[in-house]
Amino acid sequence: MPLLTMEDFKVVIKPDASRLLTAIHGVLTEQGITSYLVGGFVRDTLLGRDTADIDIAVAADAPAVAPKVAKALGGKAITLDAANGVARVVLPGGRWEIDFTTFRGSIEEDLARRDFTIDALAIELGKGTESFDAASIIDPSGGRDDLRRGLIRAVGEATFREDAVRLVRAVRLAAELDFNIESSTEALIRRDSRLIGGVAGERVREELLRLLALPGAGKRLAHLDALGLLTAIIPELAPARGVAQPRIHVWDVFEHSIQTVAAVEFLLRETPLDFAGEAVLAPVPWSDEIKEHFDREIGHGSTGWSLLKLAALLHDIAKPQTRTLDDDGRARFLGHPLEGAAAAAAIMERLRFSNREIKLVELLIKYHLRPLQMSHEATPTRRAIYRYFRDTGEAGIDILFLCLADHLATRGPGLDMDQWQGHARLTDFILASRAGEEGLVTPPRLLDGHDVMKELGLDPGPKVGELLEALRETQAAGEVTTRQQAIDYIRRRLAGASNTGEKHVQK
C-alpha cells in the first residue's frame, strides 16, 4: 500500500461513488450543514477496496437530515437510533447504504469516540467528493500509520465498554482486512469479553454472520475463543470443552466443532485444510450448480454458505448432556442430533435470526447423520433417497456436505482413505440421483385429495394425506407412473389396510 507512506498522495474516488457524494454534499450544503466522510469509506478508499457503505457525520440532527437526502436521491430513510442521532438512507437497487450520524463539538472529538484508529479518519465532505490527499485527512489517533502496519488498535481504553459489539467487530475487521489485532487491544478484549452478553442479539448476529461469510472462519472462531468471546456469545458451547469422544475421534467435542467449520470451508473449496490435501478433496462432488446452491440468500446477510458453517459449529452442541458410557466404557451420545437442533434453535432465536434461517440450521443438525444411515454398506434405494429429500427439504444438499465435514473432522490426520472415498461416492450418488431425475424428489401429481375421496369414497381426514404420501413414495420408486396405476395402488393399499384391521371412514 505505497499510497499510505506518501505525504503527497492523491486518491481518486470511483465515478459512481463520486457522483453520489457530490449529490449528497449538494443537499447538505443547501441546508447549511457541515458534514464529514468518516470511518469505513475513508479507510477502504485508502486501501483500494470497493465499498458500498458510506458514513457521514453531520453537525445536525441526523434523523431529521436523512429524509431530505432520501427524497432528493429517490431513496428511503430509516431512523436507526433517534436518541443518539443515527439514521440510514437506502438507495434504489439496494447497493448503496448511507449512514448519517450526529456529531457534537468538533469532528476530532467525534473521532475520539469511535472504535478503532483505522476508522477514526475523516474528510470534510466538500473536499472529498472526487478525490482526497494526505492534507485533507483528519487523523487524530494515527489511523493511517495503523493502516500501513496492518493493525487493529482501539482508539481508547474504554472503547469496548462504550459499545461491546466492538469486541466481535475487532476480530471481524482483522479477518476482512487480513490485519492483526494490536496486543494491548487484545488485552482489552480479554478484559471486557463478558460484556458481549449484554449486546442486542441482532447486532451480534450481524457481526457473526459477516465473520462466517469470510474464508478462514474456522480459524477466526478459534481466535474468538482464545479471546474469551466465543463462549461468551454462545455459552452453550462451554460444556463441550474437554468432553472426550470414542477413539475414532481425534479431538474433544469442542475442538471437533471448530475443526468441522474448517472442514466445511475445505470441502466448499474456500480454504486449504491443515491435515488434508487434494487427494482428500478430489472425490468430493463439486459443480457450478452446487456452488450456486450455497450462494443462495437465506436471510438478511446470510447465505447457505454462512449458515452451513454455523450449523457445523453447533452440530454437536447437545453431546455433553446426552453423553453416556456403555458397559465397556465406550461413550455414546444417543439423541444428540434432535436435542442439538432444539438447542441451536434457541441460540439463534436469542441472536434474532429469522424463522427461515433457524429452520435450515435445525434441519442441518437434526439430520446431520442421516446420509450415512441411508446406505448401511449398500447403495441407497430410490425410496430412501426420496424419503431423505422429503424430510430434509431445503437442507438436503447442505446436510450431505455437513456429514462429509463431520467425518473429516472426526478422523483428522488419521483419515481412512477407503472409508472416505466410499462416503464421497455415496454423496455423489445421492446428488446425481437428485439431479438426474426430478421425479425422484418431486414426483408428478397423478392424484390429489379430491380424486382420492371421489374415486374411493373417503371422507376428508388425515388418511387421505397418508395415502397420497404413500403414493408419492411409490412413484419415486418407479413402481407407479400413470393415473390408473395410482388409483389401483391406493385401492390395494386400502384393501390391505382393511385386511389387517386398519379402519377408515367411507361415505
Annotate 119-134 with DSSP letters as a single string. Answer: G--EEEGGGSSSEEEG
The answer to whether 25 touches 129, Cβ cutoff 8 Å, is yes
Q: Of 275, 248, 357, which is closest to residue 311 (Cα–Cα)?
A: 357
Contacts of 181 (CB under 8 A, 6+ apart): 151, 152, 153, 170, 171, 174, 189
- What's the CA gap between 26 and 18, in Å, rounded? 12
What are the angstrom distances between the C-alpha of 457 and each of 5, 112, 164?
Answer: 85, 78, 65
Plot region of 335 (φ>0 → left; ψ -120 to 50 → alpha; else → beta): left
Chain region(s) in the chain for CATH 3.30.460.10: 2-149
Read off the C-alpha cell for 167: 469486541
CATH 1.10.3210, the chain: domain bounds: 240-441
- The predicted structure's pLDDT at residue 504: 44
Is the pTM higher than 0.95? The answer reads no
What residue type is assigned to position 180 of the chain?
A: N
For domain 2-149, the CATH architecture is 2-Layer Sandwich (3.30)
CATH 1.10.110.30 positions along the chain are 153-233
**Phi then psi for 205, rounded to 5 degrees?**
-55, -45
For residue 36, the cross-strand partners are 57, 124
CATH number of 153-233: 1.10.110.30
Exposure class string for 264-298: b at 16+ Cβ within 10 A, else e: bbbbbebeebebbeeebbeebbeeeebeebbeeeb
Specify the 3-state DSSP secondary structure of 113.
coil
Residue 90 parent element (H or E): strand 86-90
Q: What is the residue whose three cell numbers read 478433496?
A: 281
463 vs 498: CA distance, rounded Å: 13
The predicted structure's pLDDT at residue 498? 54
14: DSSP letter: P
Distance CA 471, CA 360 (A): 27
Which residue reads 446425481 in cell numbers? 432
Q: Count the Cβ atoms, other than its own, within 10 Å of residue 162.
A: 12
Element spanning 88, H or E: strand 86-90
Query: pLDDT tens string for the chain (507 positions)?
Result: 444 444 546 788 888 889 999 999 999 999 999 999 998 889 998 888 888 789 999 999 999 999 999 999 999 999 988 888 999 999 987 788 899 999 988 999 999 999 999 999 999 998 877 878 777 899 999 999 999 999 999 999 999 999 999 999 999 999 999 999 999 999 999 999 999 999 999 999 999 999 999 999 999 999 999 999 999 999 999 999 999 998 899 999 999 999 999 999 999 999 999 999 999 999 999 999 999 999 999 998 899 999 999 999 999 999 999 999 888 888 889 999 999 999 999 999 999 999 999 999 999 999 999 998 887 657 888 888 988 999 998 999 999 999 999 999 999 999 999 999 999 999 999 999 888 776 677 787 877 878 778 777 777 878 778 888 887 877 777 777 788 887 878 888 877 665 554 444 333
Tell me how far the alpha carbon of residue 25 is from its chain's centroid: 36
* Pairing of β 10-12 and β 131-133: antiparallel
- For 240-441, CATH gives 1.10.3210
Residues 228 and 192 sit within 8 Å (Cβ to Cβ): no
